[in-house]
Structure 1
Amino acid sequence: MKPATPWSLMTAVLLAACGDRPTASPVTPPGQAESATTKVLDASAAALQDKPPIEALNAYLDGFHFYSGRPQAQMEAHHYCATLNEDVIQCVIYDGNVEDAKLMGVEYIVSETLFATLPPAEKALWHSHAHEVKSGQLIAPGIPQVAENALMDKLVRTYGKTWHTWHTDLHRQLPLGVPQLMMGFTADGQADPAMVAARDQRFGVDSGRKREDRAAIAAPAIDPGADAWQRGQAFQIADPTQAHGGADHAAPAAPPSDPAANAASNKP
């Protein structure tokens, strides 16, 4: 058993305290309904098998992603995370928070200390979390404000690398194509306000109020190697299936944003 840390002790209570509102998946995959035999097998496995990696998921975060190089293609992302140590967190990402939510992808989160050790080519695949935290867009549903602020005070200095494998935001009923690199927002005016407002209404939160509540959280200087899409370096894996080559993602990437404006938007 790994030793408990202040971070793991705090996150251990997050899922238990979670009072999230149901968010359904937008797609239903093709296939026959689950048979009675399959239901019995599933119930038996649930009762008899231990699942340590799943049981280690002890924090729930809700935020937003967009496709690297296609900032107009945005979606809500439900993160269920496990702490590996004080510098590394791993999350599975779903398109909802109900039982039949679809597994969209994964995100790996590292501290600024570890991120600083990465080579430039690797840093280009990661995104900063400072604006997500300071803007109020990233939330930990169902926990008291003081606990959420403590969690955000840690996350504001982290970086994430995210791959989506099932693109239910495009109503893909199966996980088609190759994984896509995702990014996080870095400045005001990038996230679709209707998307944020719909999430806020569903969870009964106010992103604007959370921005105010997090004013005392110090925004770090962003490593210049992160958020490479802002410099026109929007990496994606070439997709031989053309699952991402249609009209859904045909709009050009937004021009690189002003680094000075980004820095200003992340100030308390």
Structure 2
Amino acid sequence: MTRNTLLVLLIIAAGCGGKNSGSQVTSPGDSLNAKDRLLNTGADILQDKTPLKHFDAYLDGFHFYNGNINAQMEAHHYVSQLNDDLYQAVIFDGNGKDAKLMGVEYIVTAEAFKSLDEEEKKLWHSHHHEVKSGSLIAPGIPKVAEHELMEKLVSTYGKTIHTWHTDQERELPVGSPMIMMGFTKDGQLHKEMLSDRDKRFNVSTEEIKKNRADIPMPALIPGANAWEKGEIRQFVITNKPDSAVHKH
């Protein structure tokens, strides 16, 4: 399936996979006044937003904080494909107008992941279980299109950073950014969280899992999901003057 074909299918199915998941928090502040609304409307009409227009696909899945698998949250991804080996996604805590921007995820193919150095790989997670288990979905598009999309994603790897922890009921984006990971086995993701998602989207993860049984399970490239071996990497805020020096 070409990128244009997928876009057509997404357009046909528009409106079927969103606006059913509210934000986790209500942030402090007054409602927009008439002047602000007018300025925003003018900017929307007059300004070019080419980068945003290319976030074509919508994926719904789950993350956990690297180092704490019990701290889990649902993540709504809006994805742009840059080329055959690289995707980028903006992540929200909902899919309505009140959704808060939680973070970003970069997604690469297996070939691109192999090129990373060993320390860098420890920041990345695989998508094989998310796809095969049915926990990662593309709401609103036809099943055949979603299946083909998942065939591509099953062998990819993601590097995810959350900057606003609304799952912790933080009304403002305070605290340190955090490296996030993806689930790798059945039983890790909280059942009630998955059940709640399924109800809102009117889907069955078990049925999706059965439908994806024909998608081959890729061989895992060593280095990803390092948390499983106790290799935890996380951000630390420091006042050291050389902390911003590029040392990778």
- TM-score between both structures, scaled by the size of structure 1: 0.85
| Structure 1 segment 239-258 matched on structure 2, within 5 A | 239=237
Residue 168 (structure 2) aligned to one of 161, 167, 170: 170
Does the 8 Å CA contact 1:11/1:58 hold for their aligned counterparts? no
| Structure 1 segment 211-250 matched on structure 2, within 5 A | 211-239=209-237
Partner of 1:186: 184
Gaps of 5+ in 2: 239-248
User: Shift of the alpha carbon at 1:15?
Assistant: 4.2
Partner of 1:13: 8
Aligned partners of 1:12, 1:119: CA distance in 2, in Å?
A: 34
Aligned partners of 1:154, 1:59: CA distance in 2, in Å?
A: 13
| Change in CA separation of 1:8 and 1:76 when aligned onto 2, cut-off 3 Å | same
Partner of 1:157: 155
Aligned partners of 1:182, 1:94: CA distance in 2, in Å?
A: 14
Q: Which amino acid aligns with 1:20?
A: G
Deviation per CA, 1:171-193, whole angstroms, max 9, x where unpaired?
Answer: 10000112100000000010001
| Structure 1 segment 1-40 matched on structure 2, within 5 A | 6-13=1-8, 15-16=10-11, 17-18=13-14, 19-21=16-18, 22-40=20-38
Deviation per CA, 1:9-57, whole angstroms, max 9, x where unpaired?
Answer: 2442354224114110011111222111100000001111110011011
SS at match of 1:196: helix
SS at match of 1:189: coil
Deviates more, 1:146-155 or 1:12-21: 12-21
Deviation per CA, 1:62-102, whole angstroms, max 9, x where unpaired?
Answer: 00000000000000000000010011000000000011200
CA RMSD of aligned residues (A): 1.4
Residue 45 (structure 2) aligned to one of 44, 47, 52: 47
Q: Which runs of 4+ in 1 moved over 4 A?
A: none
Aligned partners of 1:56, 1:198: CA distance in 2, in Å?
A: 30
Q: Which amino acid aligns with 1:125?
A: L
Aligned partners of 2:30, 2:223: CA distance in 1, in Å?
A: 47
Does the 8 Å CA contact 1:14/1:58 hold for their aligned counterparts? no
Does the 8 Å CA contact 2:103/2:163 hold for their aligned counterparts? yes
Aligned partners of 1:112, 1:190: CA distance in 2, in Å?
A: 24
Determine what percentage of the aligned residue pairs are the same residue: 54
SS at match of 1:230: helix
Q: How many residues align?
A: 236
Aligned partners of 1:11, 1:80: CA distance in 2, in Å?
A: 14
Deviation per CA, 1:138-185, whole angstroms, max 9, x where unpaired?
Answer: 000011111110000000010000000000000100001121000000
Aligned partners of 1:14, 1:140: CA distance in 2, in Å?
A: 12
Deviation per CA, 1:118-141, whole angstroms, max 9, x where unpaired?
Answer: 100000000000000000000000
Aligned partners of 1:139, 1:53: CA distance in 2, in Å?
A: 24
Aligned partners of 1:115, 1:26: CA distance in 2, in Å?
A: 33
Does the 8 Å CA contact 2:6/2:145 hold for their aligned counterparts? no
Does the 8 Å CA contact 1:7/1:86 hold for their aligned counterparts? no
Aligned partners of 1:166, 1:14: CA distance in 2, in Å?
A: 32
Deviation per CA, 1:213-232, whole angstroms, max 9, x where unpaired?
Answer: 00000010111200011010
Does the 8 Å CA contact 1:109/1:159 hold for their aligned counterparts? yes
- TM-score between both structures, scaled by the size of structure 2: 0.92
Q: Which amino acid aligns with 1:126?
A: W
Aligned partners of 1:80, 1:48: CA distance in 2, in Å?
A: 23
Gaps of 5+ in 1: 1-5, 241-268
Aligned partners of 2:2, 2:96: CA distance in 1, in Å?
A: 26
Q: Which amino acid aligns with 2:8?
A: V
